[in-house]
Amino acid sequence: MNRSKSLAATSKSITAMARKRSSKTTLIFFLLLSLLAFLSFLPVFASLPSLPSYSHSHDLHFHLPRHQRLHRRQKISVRKFEIAEDKFWKDGKPFQIIGGDLHYFRVLPEYWEDRLLRAKALGLNTVQTYIPWNLHEPEAGKLVFEGIADLVSFLKLCQKLGLLVMLRAGPYICAEWDLGGFPAWLLSIHPDVRLRSSDPAYLQKVEGWWGVLLPKVAPLLYGNGGPIIMVQIENEFGSYGNDKAYLSHLVKLARGHLGEDIILYTTDGGSRETLEKGTIQGDGVFAAVDFTTGDNPWPIFKLQKQFNSPGKSPPLSSEFYTGWLTHWSEKMARTDADFTAAALEKIMLQNGSVVLYMAHGGTNFGFYNGANTGADESDYKPDLTSYDYDAPITESGDVDNAKFKAIRRVMGKFSSVSLPSVPPNNKKTGYGSIQLKRTAFLFDLLDEIDPLHIVEAESPTAMEYLNQMFGFVLYVSEYVAKTGGSKLVIPKVENMGRVNYGPYIFDRKGILSSVYVDGSVLKRWKMISIPFHNLNEVPKFNPVIQVASKFHKVSAGKKLEHKSVGVGGPSFYTGHFSIDTKTEVTDTYISLRGWGKGIAFVNEFNIGRYWPTSGPPCNLYIPAPILRQGENVLVIFELESPNPELMVDSVDQPDFTCGPGQASVHQNEDGKASASLLTPNPLGLRTF
């Protein structure tokens, strides 16, 4: 997303020429024509390399009269998606992209088809998605393409449902995703790698990642029979830097794996400065734009043409903002449905193409939410677990709302086919109140940690250097106070999400400097990693599993010995709720009103962070595929202060009314203004 902005294409009737030539000339011409015909069909053979210069017949095409060019296109039978005459062309016919972002990694795989069908009902013919490197390579050399990371299955499903795909391959994606999609282990490399640059150490890692990723998606390119019509290079680089060598290197890598026929594109804000820095002119890369929803689009599309080759600039807003992101402590960002639909229609009325950001936002499950900064590095603003985004398809997939209806009305005017009927909202159930018990004090579980995993050093060390990318780290040191000796336990440090946009993206977590007490520097530190189950990885020591095991023993009538049950501090609370075997399992929400701040797990699935005292969410969305008939186990890791009654409620609707609500995001602002969250809470927990 552009964070400097807010919401708001063979042969022809040349046979007539052939009749006027001698038989020798005719023979030569026939051989040439045969060669051209062979070359034009070459992309069909996936096992053969693509031609290095698109197609010679493509150049010949533009020397023909316009009526002959159009007639020529109608005869093309090979699958081909291309740009010519300032239009997109699909199989020889003009094509208007009516797209929307829908990220597979923010939706459970069991719901991919449901959400894609709702996107089709909205009027979309194309889906755009990012690919987060950190989801697929959580540890260096450990590749994951299963479950929620099963990219190939998602792409094949798009094709099955008749949706084209615009693939945003990164390696940087932004996306309000931890570290902009970069795996945090890049921050543990010595010497430091310079992300998003021509640094050889960084490029080596990118080459390794793309060497795995791009061969996986190459068979799914449109010319190879798949749904992928375009592949994005980097993301809004013009808002960050001006390293053309870096961008050109990415293009070379992409072409090496994907061939010459696929359309590569960049996305940048609709200003001259960002386009000058972020586009890749001379490399045959299409420059798309995004801009504030309230802006007049056509002067920006006119500017866009200056950064594309003649005839190669179909107007495309590759991020049309249907809503906006929200940080903790802000009011939920909302935009008017009719205003959004009217702005969309201004683009489409003149055959402009558009991609909604977002069509469906989804959820930042686990620890993958990102963060932004404001005026300086300390003005830290982590994003919510919910990525609802005020999109027409809500976090839970609801479509019975004013924005969906308004956008669908506009889309219906320009769709080449009748829109599918609108599916009903998915059923949601409130399963009632859930009584919890305090089952473990965090520090009681430290005995379960292998001493070999406790790091000792003279100075505190960043989490990444401890190979602890998410979760928590406990820092311990001893010092001699002026009034006598004492052991100091520095407050547990929580990674609330790494910065995903802007100049401070190099965002390590933990204690990053010396610690002073009474004017003296503390030495001799012990650092204890406390990992938790994330979306695609389960640590060897997982406190949630330990706690759930203890809970089941209690449920069986066994007494739980708990030496620290009366001690305050970060603790685990466990409860269960049952779904009758004759009852349909549906989505629900867990209401955490009255609780402080923490993480919730349902059946050992990390559904994300809660923080009702900051708001605005009071609830966490629980998709039905996480639940099961019979007993379901809820574990809460509360960091501050539990609800005095140790009670939560399973309810049937979202709630974004919690917290002080002192800040608000306006659709024409940059979306970065909010209160600083870099403060200790009453129990000493620090967020970074």
Residue with tokens 């393409």: 145
Residue 129 CA to its chain's centroid (Å): 8
Is residue 236 flagged as an active site residue? yes
Q: Select from 386, 392, 390, 449 the least CA-distant residue to 611.
A: 386
Please give the Cα distance from 149 to 49 (Å, whole number). Answer: 29
Radius of gyration, CA atoms only, the chain? 28
Please give the Cα distance from 487 to 520 (Å, whole number). Answer: 15
Could you write out the DSSP letters of every residue in 443-481? GGGGGGS-GGGEEEESS---GGGGT--SSEEEEEEEEEE
Please give the span between the terminal C-alpha atoms of the chain, in angstroms, as a whole number. Answer: 23
Residues contacting 43, CB < 8 A, separation 6+: 50, 78, 80, 223, 224, 259, 261
| Cβ atoms within 10 Å of 450's Cβ, excluding its own | 8
Please give the Cα distance from 64 to 112 (Å, whole number). Answer: 45
Is residue 234 flagged as an active site residue? no
Contact between 636 and 263 under an 8 Å Cβ cutoff? The reply is no
> Phi, psi at residue 687, to the nearest 5°?
-110, 135
Which residues does residue 340 pair with via DSSP β-bridges, in sequence order? none
Question: Is-cis flag, bond preceding 171, omega within 30?
Answer: yes
Contact between 536 and 135 under an 8 Å Cβ cutoff? The reply is yes
Q: Which of 319, 494, 638, 640 is catalytic?
A: 319
Q: Select from 12, 70, 8 the least CA-distant residue to 40.
A: 12
Please give the Cα distance from 456 to 464 (Å, whole number). Answer: 15
Q: Which of 176, 236, 330, 464 is catalytic?
A: 236
- Cα–Cα–Cα angle for 312, 316, 320, rounded to 5 degrees: 165
| Cβ atoms within 10 Å of 319's Cβ, excluding its own | 25
Could you tell me the CA-to-CA distances from 67 to 12, 76, 91, 389, 478 in Å, in that order?
11, 15, 17, 45, 84
Q: Select from 533, 531, 685, 687 the least CA-distant residue to 601.
A: 533
Residue 127 CA to its chain's centroid (Å): 13
Helices in 218-360 by DSSP H: which ranges?
244-258, 272-278, 297-305, 337-348
SS3 166: strand
Which residues does residue 232 pair with via DSSP β-bridges, in sequence order? 168, 265
Q: What is the DSSP letter of 427?
A: P
Please give the Cα distance from 263 to 314 (Å, whole number). Answer: 13
SS3 442: helix
SS3 52: coil
Contact between 106 and 535 under an 8 Å Cβ cutoff? The reply is no
Please give the Cα distance from 147 to 128 (Å, whole number). Answer: 20
Could you tell me the CA-to-CA distances from 625 to 107, 110, 111, 616 in Å, in that order?
11, 7, 8, 25
Please give the Cα distance from 187 to 200 (Å, whole number). Answer: 15
Q: Select from 497, 157, 172, 170 the least CA-distant residue to 325.
A: 497
Contact between 201 and 236 under an 8 Å Cβ cutoff? The reply is no
CA max distance for the chain: 110
Q: Which residues are catalytic?
A: 236, 319
